[in-house]
Each structure stands twice: as structure tokens, then as C-alpha cells.
Amino acid sequence: MKAIKRTEPLLLRGSMVALVTPFKGGKIDKRALKKLIDFHVANGTDAIVPCGTTGESATLSHEEHTKVVEMTLEYVDGRIPVVAGTGSNSTEEAIQLTKHAERAGADAALLITPYYNKPTQEGLYQHFRAVAREVRIPIILYNVPARTSVNLLPETICRLTELKNIKGIKEATGDLKQIGDLITLCGDRMTVLSGDDFTTLPILAIGGKGVISVTANVAPRDVSDMVHAYLRGDEKDAVALHTALWPLHKAMFLETNPIPVKTALGMMGMIDPELRLPL
């Protein structure tokens, strides 16, 4: 597909949706994907993140993965940024997926820490360094130890800021002390985004700039309003929205993500609530 050229810099802030991948009959549902994208553009979502955990990237073939990224960019058509999930536990595979995202016109790439391998901190540094050296687009790191069995530590993250295109991190440890240490150590060299809807407001309160959200799939306007209320200094409104969203956050994680969020979107008539095994 033709790459979309964007003149303004990507703003790593606000409400970014960890988009589900809609399926129908075992295949990607293109019509539902377009419907979801229009829904987010109309309801204040600041960026769309396809092919992450919520997008069932682990069960997408390479062909499907690249196709979802391309279709998302085509349907978004430059209206808001697209941050393509391109992570892998294979460094070479992560490089190839990230190169594809760059060629397709993605505004940035989201790279999860290598899962299953359980690399050392030096191994994590070398993995991300190898990817960053092969592309020019901004890279957002993704730290979610509950899924990967490895924790990217603040000292390693700060070391990675030496690489000019590593710009941010999606932090899903749920550990505010570790996130506070990260913000203290790195300052404005690393933009911190919440990767856990429950901790979005606390992370904003200690210096974070936004969220890559599961809940935003079903309530994009409310999540966006909560984040932007805090960022513009309306703490009372932000707390009220955070409190109102709390039961929905809990519902989104009653079972393994994205089982609940796809069920909810099916109830809303947005998609067929089809999942891939083993979910």
C-alpha cells in the first residue's frame, strides 16, 4: 500500500486504544475493522494501536499481521496516528515486522519485551537496540511481566533512551514504585504511558502522559475525556471519570484479555465476538 506521509510529530500522549482484531469465520473481518476505526476517530481516541496483545497478535499469521497494519493505516487515512504492534520474542522477526510497519506508513511501533526466552537485562537492551538501529520511526517499549515473565527495569529503560528513536514505554507492571523510579531516573527523555487501565490515573499523577487502553475499545469517549481532563489540570473531573470507569475496567478483565472486551463489543453490535483458540 502507499505510505501515508505525516508532517506533524507524533504526540505520545492521550488515550490510545489497544484495538481488537475482529474475526468472522476465522478470517479478519474487514468491514468490522473499518467500523471500529471510525468509532474511535469519532469518539476522541488519540491513536490506534493494532496487533498488540488485545489484537490477538500471538495467533495472527505473519501475513495477517502485516495485513491488519496495512488495513488500519488505509482506513485511518491519516486522521489520527497509528502505532503498529511489531514485537516478538525473536529479534529478527521483530526487526522485519517493524520495518514493514515503517514502510506501510505507521507513525510508531510498539514492541513488547521478548516473551518465553526470559532474557537478561543486557539481552533486552541488545534486542531493542538491534530493532531501533534498523528503522527511523519512533519506538514505544512495552513492559508487561505478567505475560512475558521478564521485567524491563528502569535502569535498562534509561539506557535505551540513548537511542534517538526509542521515545516511550507502555508500562503494565502495575508497580507504581517502579514506574516512579523510571520517571525520576529518565525525566523527559522517556514518555510513560499506562498499559493497565486500573493504573492510568495514578500514572498520570506521577508524570505519565496517557494510556494504551483496553477499556477504550468499548468506551473511547470516557477514557479520552478522563485522560485529557487530567492533562489539562481538571483533576476533579478526571477522578470522577476514573471512578465511573472502574466497574468497566473490572469487567474487561473478568477473564483473559481480550475475551471480555470482544464479548462486550459483540453485545454492542460492533463485531462478531469471535476469538481464536486457545482463547
> Residue 47 is inside which H or E element, if any?
strand 47-49
Among candidates 64, 87, 264, 257, which has minimal Cα distance to 170? 87
Is 142 part of the annotated catalytic residue set? yes
Cα distance between residue 110 and residue 128, in whole Å: 11
Closest CA to 245 of 185, 196, 174, 183: 196
The per-residue pLDDT of the chain, averaged, comes to: 95
What is the rounded CA–CA span in Å between residue 263 and residue 47?
23
Residue 192 near residue 208, CB atoms below 8 Å: yes
pLDDT per residue as tens digits for the range 229-255: 999 999 999 999 999 999 999 999 999
pLDDT of residue 213: 98
Dihedral-angle region of residue 75 (phi above 0 means left; psi in -120 to 50 means alpha; beta otherwise)? alpha
pLDDT at 9 over 60: no
Does residue 14 carry a pLDDT above 80?
Answer: yes
Task: For residue 10, name the pLDDT band (cuts at 50, 70, 90).
Answer: low
d(CA 9, CA 20): 26
**Which residue type is seen at 143?**
N
Q: What pLDDT digit, counting tens, does each position of 102-155 carry?
A: 999 999 999 999 999 999 999 999 999 999 999 999 999 999 999 999 999 999
Catalytic residue among 170, 209, 230, 262: 170
CA angle, 49 as apex, 45 and 50 as ends, to 5°? 130
Q: What is the C-alpha separation between 241 and 91, in angstroms, rounded? A: 40
116 catalytic residue (yes or no): no
In the structure grid, which three cell numbers stand for residue 154, read together? 528502569
Residue 8: the pLDDT is 42
Indicate the pLDDT class of residue 271, thresholds 50, 70 and 90. Answer: very high
Catalytic residue among 142, 167, 209, 262: 142
Distances (CA, A) of 142 to 34, 121, 239, 271: 26, 14, 26, 27
